[in-house]
Chain A
Amino acid sequence: MFEAHSINAEHKDLIHDIAYDFYGQRMATCSSDQFVKVWDEDEHDNWHLTASWKAHSGSVWKVTWAHPEFGQVLATCSFDRTAAVWEEIVGEGSGSGERGMRHWVRRTNLVDSRTSVTDVKFAPKTLGLLLATCSADGVIRIYEAPDVMNLSQWTLQHEISCKLPCSCLTWNPSLSRLHPPMLAVGSDDSNASSGGKVFIYEYSENNRRWTKTETLSNVVDPVHDIAFAPNLGRSFHTLAIATKDVRIVTLKPMQDAAQSGLSRFEITTAAQFDDHYCTVWRVCWNIMGTILASSGDDGCVRLWKDNYVNNWKCVAVLKGDGTSAHSAEIPQIATPPSHSISGTQAPLSTTRNISIATVTAERPTTTILSTSKWQAPVIKGRFSKSVWLGNPSEPSLPPPPIIERPKSKK
């Protein structure tokens, strides 16, 4: 049921993080090999490597894209205790018409942390150009570029100490003005006695400070990843947590708490799955917030979907398979030449089509393939090659009104 496309990522070591841009047409990868690479997808689903550079002097943990309203901007964070902001520069008049290498320039290096920077995330665009980082020594930092067009100037706006080592953070993407800016941070501290490992911070416009408003006290095991779901017309926030299991927690703002300035939430665990049977490392939402992907120590990725009554179910399991006979590579299907001005195919295309084997389902699914013998139906009352437009009995519209505009005078 899936079509697949595989790319040789050309990293020398495992990839730690992948980020896709707003449109899903650009991909940034980062790795233990200290490199960041950027890939662009063409009209024919081929990915082309357009940039590759050594970004840090340690493993690069995370990579993330800024909203395209701010241009083509990436942020990375690393074991080397820094986070960096990168901008793509369009070469002027270089005449390089082909889909060649692009230049990425380091606009800033954020060196405030004394330990490994474990996560970096841009804030929702409505808040401006804001960047949050968290680090192993338990400090959350929020930076702002006051002039969104000048990416080399960042000011450290807030420094919040959360006491426990931080492993991950997520912004609440809610676009509603009703909610103050909100962040959730997870800690991978392994000491259960240190209490809850997920903290909610909210920004108060009145005293211009970030304050911890909630601690999820029922999550006491180390938390490795955390992600707010896009909030599309829901009255509550949804947070996915990767800990010893997959958790989906909802935070519903309480009505009466609004006056007190800081909102309190009714916190409910909407789902809790231990299907991975071991630690869960990563969680990721699709753009609608309808399907969650979780990666566990069992080497599987599981996809969870909720239905119309908010009942979550596993819909697919992906697992690595080194022995599959289906892994034979099929030569790339010829595609029309890429649309580059020079007309030549960029040499960097490393795309291959492979076939993905579908292993039998755990329970026979009820998908229908060929059940009943169908037979040639008799077709009546329909002209075969074309169709009638609309509904003949529908009265045609009255002529449109014509309104003259006042003639303007120069």
Chain B
Amino acid sequence: MSENIHGTFISEKVSKIRWKPEDFVEAKSFLTGSWDNPVNHITYWTFDTNEEDDESYPVIISSHAFLGDVTELRFISKDLFVASSSIGTVQLLQIQENPYAQFKERLSWNFLHKFPASDYASCTAISTFEQDIVTVGEDGTINLLTANQKIPVRTIEKSDSCSMHCVDFLRHSEVLTGNLLGHMKVWDLRNNQDVPSTTFILSANTKTEATSLAHHPTQRHIVVAGGGDGSLTVWDLRHNTYPVSQLNAHSSSVSEIKFHPDRPENLFSCSSSGQLWHWNNAQNTKLKLDSGDTHWLNTISTKGKVNVTSMCATLHKPINTIDVDRSTLLFGCDNEAMYVIKNIAV
């Protein structure tokens, strides 16, 4: 299995890694964001083939200085992406190839997240829905932005008394946020009152933070959240806010969860304990057309139908980020390296 894994040391800890989306063809370039340096970088990579052994390996197209840690990177179109930083700034950047590869700043929301007394606050997560961008930060504020206007569409200040760590668009008018104590809140953006429509708890008996959120690519009401204790919790938010299953998964904090965009029966999760797991529901693929309402995630624990495989030997440093396109998975790690796994079985 290890032969499929290719590592590249890049002299910066990787906080985010994202495929640049392509229409109808395999993605071939990607971005990495780094953290924990005085000046960090967003780097644009592609693959180059070595003539000798016909292996392809990542090469840098261009690299751009970024102030603060890169806390999230999200593409909103083929060449436009949003980057957020630990100094509370959010930028909309465009990848330009001509005359030379560079990022052009289209919009910058400077110090969008900040504390009342002079300090900047980290923008911890963003989520996008078409042109809309929602940001959350350590200051407990939710900002709703849109890609073509400088002024935030809406700001919900003090939406949470604690710092928020993850956010996801459930639908165009609804977002879900998670905070430092694992309090999950659903916000109806059509409602003008600055209160959540629903509040529920990641885990009733522990005070762990919600670290990562992902929704099912086709059934957005199915939401998976990762916890600071390594747990994965699944909700079907159509029915209620009571988790359909809750699993003690990783041995420490879940860093990121990703559904395979085209084959949602595959889920990937990584953790600060250096684990990278692939959750696959092979049996159910045949029954896919069957019943839409009992999703496989509901049955993970009870019927034990899901295969969980470890995709690589446990790394000795936290794995911070994963992204997957077709059969190639990328992940970035705190050992200042990023890895490519080819031909994953999905």
Residues on A facing B (Cβ under 8 Å):
43-45, 90-94, 96-98, 100, 336-337, 339, 341, 343, 383-392, 394, 396-400, 402-405, 407-408, 410
Closest to A409 in B: B204
A283→B151 CA distance, assembly (Å): 56
A93→B117 CA distance, assembly (Å): 6
A386→B114 CA distance, assembly (Å): 40
> Is B53 an interface position by the 8 A CB rule?
yes
- Taking a contact as CB atoms under 8 Å apart, the answer to whether B247 and A404 are in contact is yes
- Taking a contact as CB atoms under 8 Å apart, the answer to whether A386 and B2 are in contact is no
Complex A-B, nearest 8 residue pairs according to Cβ-Cβ distance, in ascending order: A408-B204, A43-B38, A90-B117, A404-B301, A389-B5, A389-B7, A397-B310, A392-B2
- Taking a contact as CB atoms under 8 Å apart, the answer to whether B5 and A405 are in contact is no
Which residues from A are CB-within-8-Å of B301?
A: 402, 404
A343→B8 CA distance, assembly (Å): 35
A405→B204 CA distance, assembly (Å): 11
Given contacts A92-B117, A341-B111, contact A399 B309 (CB under 8 A): yes
- Taking a contact as CB atoms under 8 Å apart, the answer to whether B117 and A339 are in contact is no
Which residues from B are CB-within-8-Å of A337?
A: 67
Which residues from B are CB-within-8-Å of A400?
A: 249-250, 275, 277, 308, 310
Given contacts A43-B38, A339-B68, A392-B2, contact A399 B308 (CB under 8 A): yes
- Taking a contact as CB atoms under 8 Å apart, the answer to whether A386 and B8 are in contact is yes
Given contacts A336-B39, A386-B8, A396-B2, contact A97 B118 (CB under 8 A): yes
Residues on B facing A (Cβ under 8 Å):
1-3, 5-9, 38-39, 50, 53, 55, 57-59, 65, 67-68, 87, 110-111, 114, 116-120, 204-205, 231, 242-243, 245-250, 275, 277, 300-302, 304, 307-310, 312-314, 339
Which residues from A are CB-within-8-Å of B277?
A: 400
Which residues from B are CB-within-8-Å of A392?
A: 2-3
Which residues from A are CB-within-8-Å of B117?
A: 90-94
A77→B225 CA distance, assembly (Å): 54
A383→B6 CA distance, assembly (Å): 10
- Taking a contact as CB atoms under 8 Å apart, the answer to whether B7 and A386 are in contact is yes
A343→B109 CA distance, assembly (Å): 13
A350→B204 CA distance, assembly (Å): 52
B278 to chain A, nearest CB (A): 9
Given contacts A385-B59, A389-B5, A399-B310, contact A339 B67 (CB under 8 A): yes
Q: Counting chain B CB atoms within 10 Å of each CB, which of A94, A391, A392, A400 scores highest?
A: A400
Which residues from B are CB-within-8-Å of A45?
A: 38
A401 to chain B, nearest CB (A): 9
B88 to chain A, nearest CB (A): 8
Which residues from A are CB-within-8-Å of B53?
A: 383
Which residues from B are CB-within-8-Å of A98?
A: 118
A398→B307 CA distance, assembly (Å): 11
For the A-B complex with A343-B111, A386-B58, A404-B248 known, give 19 more contacts whose Cβ atoms are closer than 8 Å: A90-B117, A90-B118, A92-B116, A97-B114, A339-B87, A385-B8, A387-B8, A388-B7, A389-B7, A392-B3, A394-B2, A396-B310, A400-B310, A402-B304, A402-B308, A404-B246, A405-B248, A407-B246, A410-B242
Which residues from A are CB-within-8-Å of B67?
A: 336-337, 339
Which residues from B are CB-within-8-Å of A43?
A: 38-39
Which residues from A are CB-within-8-Å of B57?
A: 383, 385-386
- Taking a contact as CB atoms under 8 Å apart, the answer to whether A394 and B249 are in contact is no
- Taking a contact as CB atoms under 8 Å apart, the answer to whether A389 and B312 are in contact is yes
A336→B87 CA distance, assembly (Å): 14
A404→B302 CA distance, assembly (Å): 9
- Taking a contact as CB atoms under 8 Å apart, the answer to whether A388 and B59 are in contact is no
Q: Counting chain B CB atoms within 10 Å of each CB, which of A96, A343, A402 scores highest?
A: A402
User: Which among A92, A339, A383 is the interface contact of B120 at CB below 8 angstroms?
Assistant: A339
Which residues from A are CB-within-8-Å of B204?
A: 408, 410
A391→B242 CA distance, assembly (Å): 43
A169→B116 CA distance, assembly (Å): 40
A389→B111 CA distance, assembly (Å): 39
